[in-house]
Structures are given as C-alpha cells and as structure tokens.
Amino acid sequence: MITPAVRVPGGGATYGALCLAGLGARVHLFSAVGPDFPVLPVRAGLELRLRAASATASFVNRYDAHGRRTQLLEAAPARLEPGSWSRPTEAELLFLAPVFGELEPGAAADW
C-alpha cells in the first residue's frame, strides 16, 4: 500500500505470514521485491527469503467523495518460478498468496 509519503508492506502473503507468526508458527516468507521494499517494518517474527526484482508489487488506492475505492496496479509483481527457493525441510504448511499472475497454476505441486 502507498500513502502520500510512506510505502507500507501489505497483501495476503505479508498479512498471512504475520498472522501465522503471531500464532507461534515459524514462518518463512518468500517473495520477489524491488529496492523500494520497506524490509524493517515486516521483519517481526519472520524469516525473509527475498529475491531481487526491478520493483515491488504495489497498488494505489483512491477514494472518491462517497468512500468508493478504486485500486490501481502501480507495479506488477515479478514472476516466481518453481524451484527458485529450496523448501524448508520442517515445513508443515504452504500458504500461497499470489497477487497478479506471479505463479503458474500448479507451481507448488511438488512442495
């Protein structure tokens, strides 16, 4: 999410990972992010496994006078290819939260 002066991490992967960490799970968050990604606010309780990308997936939310939101894709996410990361051997759960086509259907079938 982007506010006038601040980039704030968000989205299903971030919120899901923070929720699971809050419940006591050991969480590895895999993502491809650009140099604009604000790493420090996300780190609490997470092991980040980040791949370099040209930009971080981001959206801009605009609200009209009636509170209706229009959401625009500002930067598309980088493709996440199968086999890009090694699987944590102790993983009991795989939670996928693609935003905009960064995973092919069935990409994690071997996990």
Q: What is the pLDDT of residues 86-107, one digit of tens each?
A: 777 777 787 888 888 888 887 7
| 96 to 31, 60, 88, 90, 99: CA distances (angstroms) | 11, 22, 15, 17, 10
Which pLDDT value is given to residue 50? 84
Nearest to 80 by CA among 61, 59, 99, 67: 99
Task: Indicate the burial class of 52 (C-beta count within 10 angstroms; 0-12, 13-18, 19 or more).
Answer: exposed
The number of residues making up the chain comes to 111
Q: What is the pLDDT at residue 69?
A: 93
Residue 3: per-residue pLDDT: 52
pLDDT value for 68? 95
| pLDDT, greater one: 20 or 82 | 20
More confident residue, 49 or 1: 49
Q: Which of 59, 82, 76 is nearest to 3 (CA)?
A: 59
In percent, the amount of the chain with pLDDT more than 70 equals 86
For residue range 26-73, what is the model confidence (pLDDT) as tens digits? Answer: 888 888 888 888 765 566 677 888 888 888 888 888 899 999 999 999
Task: Give the type of residue at 74.
Answer: E
Rounded Cα gap, residues 43 and 109, in angstroms: 28
CA–CA separation, 83 and 76 (whole Å)? 21
State the pLDDT at residue 14: 85
**How many C-alpha atoms does 17 have within 13 Å on its Cβ side?**
21
